[in-house]
Amino acid sequence: MSEVTINDFSLLCRLFGNLFYRNPTDPVLAGVFNWLQQGQLRQHWALATDTQSEQALTILEKEANPTELAVSYQALFAENGNVSPRLSDYGIDPSDFMTFRQQRNMPEVDNVNHVGLLLLTASWIEDNIDSIAAQKALFETFLLPCLSKFLGKVEAFDTGFYKALAQLTRDALSAMADELEESE
């Protein structure tokens, strides 16, 4: 596996976090789907690829249609969807996560009880805090315990875009966790 630089990891977490956090028709994501369709994620993918990750990248390129994805997003993540996006449903106390963010002077958010915010927080830490300790605390306390369960559920209930997104998210987190371990 090749090394992921901080910038690469930040980009992936920001991208993946927003794709899980926001409905595909959210205007914030308009350019993201064009970027995916053009194969830009593949061009910026810093990890070694295997057959599974190549297939996941291809699925993200081919299925990056926000209008069509909105149906899948609702089926998966809406109030009565198959996969809860709430941190609290994975044993994470949202107030603990909010405190973690406040202690690092992170911007306030409307919905702290959302798994996509974990990835967005990882990106923010990469870009704004030069602290291995903050990264490790995020990974050990929040990110890995929650996302391992969440991503597994996404992979179980989706066969297309979101399953591919979950697989690539898992690859990126695994690479960063390895880097954090090596930094000790």
pLDDT in tens, 138-152: 999 999 999 999 999
Structure-token pair, residue 112: 């702290």
pTM recorded for the entire structure: 0.92
Q: Structural domain of residue 176, as residue ranges?
A: 6-183
Give the model's pLDDT for residue 5. Answer: 45
Total domains present in the chain: 1
Q: Give the span between the Cα atoms of 106 and 111, in whole angstroms.
A: 14
Is position 48 within any domain?
A: yes
Is position 65 within any domain?
A: yes
Is position 88 within any domain?
A: yes
Is position 1 within any domain?
A: no
- 154 neighbors 162 (Cβ within 8 angstroms): yes
Is position 16 within any domain?
A: yes
Is position 153 within any domain?
A: yes
Q: What are the two backbone dihedrals, phi and then psi, of residue 24, each rounded to the nearest 5 degrees?
A: -55, -25
Q: Could you tell me the end-to-end alpha-carbon distance of the chain, in angstroms, rounded to an integer?
A: 19
Q: Give the span between the Cα atoms of 180 and 4, in whole angstroms.
A: 11
pLDDT band at 46 (very low <50, low <70, confident <90, very high): confident
Q: Give the span between the Cα atoms of 143 and 50, in whole angstroms.
A: 24
Residue 91 zone, left/alpha/beta (φ > 0; ψ -120 to 50; rest): left
Is position 51 within any domain?
A: yes
Is position 121 within any domain?
A: yes
Look up the CATH number of the domain holding residue 93. 1.10.3480.10
